[in-house]
Structure 1
């Protein structure tokens, strides 16, 4: 299904996650458009929904909501729609999309050695030159996280400048890291760089070498390797070669993958006719970072001191002891070996489920933040939010196992393209949610599925496309199971608990801001933390930790809400400061108008997850934001949080 208006996708995502009516004003704030545009987009979405088993209902003076009449038809429509956005071929309307579009556009032009002139770029985007220049200043900030700069002049136009390896990682993220994580043929950019025939040849060469040397790769790892081969071929000029220090070269030459890379490049020379043997070190590095490690005794022993320090830090700061979870230790060992190699070589890795992990597993994410701190200190590397998100998957699976683990009932297998850790998290959450109703028989890649296996189970839960099989048993789910996914699975086969928290005791009246005037995230946090220090709820060290936590991973969420908090907190009591901003501000990449600043000491750390879930349920999924925006009173806030 082809859709040219990205906002329609965003609208469906909002309606899909909301359980209450939402107003056009709220939608306009979230999408950063006028209410008139929202009404036009809703009409467009309803036209698409006509044959989908669902529609957007309008309630006069109340708002809009999604009504699903036929779950199966709607789910099929939704997944097709999410995969059918053709934004690469049209001019994006949203600001963040335009920024990404411009970066991708410049990078693609660089692959073809073409100059990008500001005037031509402005014309292509249907914007003024002055508006484009405003975007360029924000693009510089986006590129800074890759260690790259944006240069502009009349003769050379707009170009991205920096270390070649970093430019390639930037190309990987902005050009290739889209929803088509497994089926590369669906990425429209490939057609502009490589003919389909050459792409097939490269895939065959890589597959042949990987199978010959018995290298175990996930579907996503295979795709990432192929992407970097394509990028390497596209930037084959001598001046675009990635350079390595002599010490780094010796280290890479000692790896068994150096010979594999040499063999791969020789096949490319013979079958594609391009000689890129000078890139052997670069591809060796990617083989090392992509492989699935085996947790042998000596590997576990080498990694154990780091693991022990991570688990000690988590126990110290959260009070949660995971040191006896052998499955966590094994999985984390395998993951860390690859992750540390990526970090040492400054290799970025795209984490498409990052926002879902942060939203659905807040406690696990905070554990991963602490782990990231330890890794930076012990391994002398710089961590990043994507890597932290992958670590959180392991901690989330461990927490799920400790809550519930029972087999029986209907049988199922899990197909996952993103790796064993993601699959194990899916398994743990399914077992926790459905208990004896569902037994997970096996976890595998989509390539291993056969008709015989399909016949032996009741369900197949897949996060990747399953080609060659037509069966009602196959249920597509997000890599991080969402509430809607669980509801649909429950609908197909046939529970949930809430913790008791005294929100009137937790949310402090003296820390409530009815109308806070601030223009930046820093301003908001300074005002709120100063008030908390003044009233004795936090000290200077906790304040610094709040800012450090925000720098590591922004806490803004969908639905105009942010939930900042400290990484380390040794105060005696838990407390929450709440601020309703006079006007929305940009909190990293999302608009925010309500801020919940949490001070949750170690003694109360298990409270963190249910509190964040409660805030998300009431203020993002339901109508809490609208109610607070209208009344702006402490009493209304408590009433909302008291509701079941």
Structure 2
């Protein structure tokens, strides 16, 4: 593997692999957080890396850059060598991080690794490792403390010992699992520096073999990820216990864990480790039992009463999704079964306040925003009925189930409606109407043919769902005949959409208001953005105080950033009858949570218009993420540009 000293090179390659489109330097600069000039220099570095690898990044005059792959096999081989997961992702090379979030993660990992060795690390040492000044390092401490707050952990400082950590032992271990190990190292733990430094390859293989033997003996079904997570926590336990750091449980918790069938499994793992590795972790039996319980699946031998309880929970989730979003998934038995199995493990994880890594959280939120919103609704139900607070990683896994259900839902949707376009004012006009209808409705509307006016008969009307005509059709009376203007106006499209979608449908472009469009908005944080937008919406009567408060409640539940410089925050409650979408193009990108954001779509959709959720999310995704159209709006932040983009299809 080639050692790459500039991480931006990897990010640029990721962008071209992900987007598969022409990218201009301004777009890449905004996404990566550097100047266009720096991007141009980085492109040269990319091409030096790609030389002889079957690909190059070429400038396209007037539009930007495009990756040209002239040898698919050679480029695939290059990806396989440089990337992980069979070449699907670009590996994080051992390079000094320069990105804000990467530096945060690097500093936390260094503090955690040093704590494993029972030592602190000084600010000077951290600053030297990152090649930054002490004053710059201190600026990161606020975000570091915020990140550790998720685990109820605190930073400790000592003039002699340096920076350390303080908190519940179980939470410290969960934090180590998240920050010290990445997805590649879960596949091959020997690639992790911590393991190589603390344990020999022989010891790693021995622990893994012990786990496999016991799991197979007790016939415990585990996914590969669940097994690797168990192994990660067992390895951390071995090191932490060696330093006299052990977990503590209440008498009630211990009694409940002792009653579990997995208690005997945990005891056997610990006994074999003592026998073969001569490491005594007997007092960790409750911690290990907890991990086995939280990794299990709900199976066919599960107690009937337990199954009934999970079915009631799933039914409550699906009922609330239908009430809030207007999508009925109650007949999807595959979804119901999948959610019951998933919740069987997830509820136990949440009860013990355990975290689970979700490496695909970002692409889930970006590609399936509506499915993620369903997961947020599910977390509301869990909070209300089970008194459990769901974290964003768990929401991401729930969203996978909803995403698959939505694909089935769309596949089972009714067939496209059919139409004939009557050619009354010339073929060119009819073809223009056809083109606009196809761009607007896509697969929802099938244009059977374009016919001269004299060919339209009662029979042809009966054979299709609609007849679109630019002139009156004499002698035939039917609600299927829809007269439109030769240029097919916005009003025509809105009327047709209402008819196609049904009475509850609405022309969604009407949700966007010119008085709620904010070009070049100045803001430093996401809360600053939300305050400014909701203040205006409240003042103009688009939302009330409850609606405004619910925007912040929703943001607290899970960040609404989607990647590609976009965030879609929204109100959980809208007691009015009007659906509106406020749009802000920020003067410059800001760190929203983990990603940079420059365009914000703030949605406020009342329950009376809940069916609009799906088409609105799909339209925003199609126009501004999938088509990379957000950069058109950033370059030219005008309401007219926004509407033109929305009306392209």
TM-score range, shorter chain: 0.7 to 0.9
Cα pair 1:319 1:603 within 8 Å, conserved: no
1:305 is matched with which residue?
A: 312
Q: 2:287 aligns with which of 282, 285, 302?
A: 282
Q: Does residue 563 of structure 2 align to residue 558 of structure 1?
A: yes
Q: What's the CA shift for 1:28? A: 2.1
In the other structure, the counterpart of 1:416 is: none
Aligned-partner SS, 2:562: coil
TM-score, structure 1 as length reference:
0.81
From 168, 171, 174, the equivalent of 2:176 is 171
Which of 178, 184, 188 in structure 2 is aligned with 1:183? Answer: 188
Does residue 371 (structure 1) correspond to residue 378 (structure 2)? The answer is yes
Asked if 1:193 corresponds to 2:194, the answer is no
1:591 aligns with 2:596: yes
Aligned residue for 2:187, secondary structure, equals: coil
Deviations, residues 42-88 of structure 1 (Å, cap 9, x unaligned): 22222333344332121245322223345555455445433286647
Q: Which moved more, 1:556-565 or 1:613-622?
A: 613-622
SS of 2:561's equivalent in the other structure is coil
Count of residues in correspondence between the two structures: 554
Query: Which residue in the other structure is 1:336 paired with?
Result: 343
Over residues 309-354 of structure 1, what are the superposed CA-to-partner deviations in whole Å (9 max), with x where a residue is unaligned?
Answer: 2222112212222222222222211111211110111100011111
Q: How does 1:139-538 map to 2 (within 5 A)?
A: 139-237=144-242, 239-295=244-300, 296=302, 297-404=304-411, 502=507, 504-538=509-543
Q: How does 1:601-640 map to 2 (within 5 A)?
A: 601-622=606-627, 624-640=629-645
Native 8 Å contact 2:523 2:586 kept in 1? yes
Structure 1, 193-202 or 312-321: larger mean CA deviation: 312-321
Deviation at residue 543 of structure 1 after TM alignment: 2.0
Report the counterpart of residue 423 of structure 1 in structure 2: none
Is contact 2:551-2:572 (8 Å) kept?
yes
The change in CA–CA distance for 1:2 and 1:184 in structure 2 (over 3 A counts) is farther
Taking structure 1 as reference, are residues 522 and 402 closer, same or farther at Cα in structure 2, changes over 3 Å only? same
Q: Are the aligned partners of 1:3 and 1:85 in contact in 2 as well (CA < 8 Å)? A: no
Q: Relative contact order (C-alpha < 8 Å, sep 6+): which is higher?
A: 1
Alignment partner, residue 114 of structure 2: 109
**Over residues 166-224 of structure 1, what are the superposed CA-to-partner deviations in whole Å (9 max), with x where a residue is unaligned?**
00000000001333432323334321221111000111110000000001110011101
* Separation of aligned partners in 1, 2:143 and 2:108: 11
Matched residue, 2:9: 8
Q: CA contact under 8 A between 2:83 and 2:91: conserved in structure 1? A: no
Distance in 2, Cα, partners of 1:513 & 1:341:
45
Aligned twin of 2:29: 28
Q: Structure 2: how far apart are the matches of 1:501 and 1:313?
A: 22
What's 2:42 paired with?
41
Cα deviation code 1:569-601 (max 9, x no counterpart): 443232211111222222112222211112233
Using the size of structure 2 for normalisation, the TM-score is: 0.80
Question: Gaps (5+ residues) in structure 2?
Answer: 414-442, 444-499
SS of match in other structure, 1:592: strand
For the 8 Å contact 1:21–1:62, the answer to whether it is kept is yes
Give the structure 2 partner of residue 546 of structure 1. 551
Counterpart Cα distance in 2 of 1:158 and 1:208: 40
Q: How far 1:384 moved relative to its partner?
A: 0.8
**Distance in 2, Cα, partners of 1:249 & 1:100:** 34
For the aligned residue pairs, the C-alpha RMSD in angstroms reads 2.4
Structure 1 residues 629, 70: CA separation in 2 closer, same or farther (over 3 Å shift)? same
Cα contact 1:514–1:632 (8 A) shared by 2: yes
Q: Is the 2:14–2:90 contact (alpha carbons within 8 Å) kept by the matching residues of 1?
A: no
Taking the aligned partners of 1:47 and 1:156, their CA distance within structure 2 comes to 45
SS at match of 1:309: helix
Once the two structures are superposed, residues 480-537 of structure 1 have per-residue CA deviations (whole angstroms, 9 ceiling, x without a partner) of xxxxxxxxxxxxxxxxxx9998454232112111232222212211221222233333
8 Å contact kept, 2:584–2:601: yes
Distance 1:61 1:223 in 2: 49
Moved more, 309-318 or 168-177: 309-318
The change in CA–CA distance for 1:354 and 1:303 in structure 2 (over 3 A counts) is same
For residues 18-60 of structure 1, the C-alpha deviation after alignment (integer angstroms, 9 at most, x for no partner) is 3543222332222122333322322222233334433212124
Structure 1, unpaired ranges of 5+? 407-432, 434-497
Q: For residues 312 and 504 of structure 1, do their structure 2 counterparts lie closer, same or farther at Cα, with a shift above 3 Å needed?
A: closer
Instruction: Measure, in 1, the Cα distance between the counterparts of 2:283 and 2:533.
Output: 54
Q: Does 1:68 align with 2:69?
A: yes
Cross-structure match for 1:491:
none
Structure 1 residue aligned with 2:57:
56
Contact 2:118 2:243 (8 Å CA) reproduced: no
Structure 2 distance, partners of 1:207, 1:578, is 53
CA deviation after TM superposition for structure 1 residue 122, in Å: 1.3
Distance 2:310 2:625 in 1: 40
SS in 2 for 1:241: coil
The change in CA–CA distance for 1:92 and 1:640 in structure 2 (over 3 A counts) is same
| Alignment deviations for residues 541-564 of structure 1 (CA, whole Å, 9 cap, x no partner) | 222222111111111232222111
Task: Indicate conservation of the 8 Å contact 2:521/2:587, yes or no.
Answer: yes
User: Rg larger in 1 or in 2?
Assistant: 2
Q: Quick one: distance in 1 between partners of 2:76 and 2:604?
A: 39
Q: Distance in 2 between matches of 1:572 and 1:155?
A: 62
Structure 1 residues 88 and 190, CA gap change in structure 2 (3 angstroms):
farther
Q: Matches of 2:18 and 2:579 in 1, distance apart?
A: 29
1:557 counterpart SS class: strand
Following the alignment from structure 2 to structure 1, what is the Cα–Cα distance between the partners of residues 33 and 90? 20
Q: By how many angstroms is 1:374 displaced?
A: 0.9
Structure 2 vs 1, CA of residues 190 and 239 (structure 1 numbering), >3 Å: closer, same or farther? Answer: closer
Find the residue that maps to 2:516 and give its secondary structure. strand
SS at match of 1:236: helix
Question: Which sits farther off after the overlay, 520-529 or 86-95?
Answer: 86-95
**Take 1:201 and 1:326, find their aligned partners in 2: how far apart are those partners?**
42
Does structure 1 retain, via aligned residues, the 8 Å contact 2:350–2:388? yes
Kept after mapping to 1: 8 A contact 2:362/2:563: no
Q: Is the 8 A contact 1:372 1:388 kept in 2?
A: yes
Report if aligned partners of 1:376, 1:383 keep a CA contact under 8 Å in 2.
yes
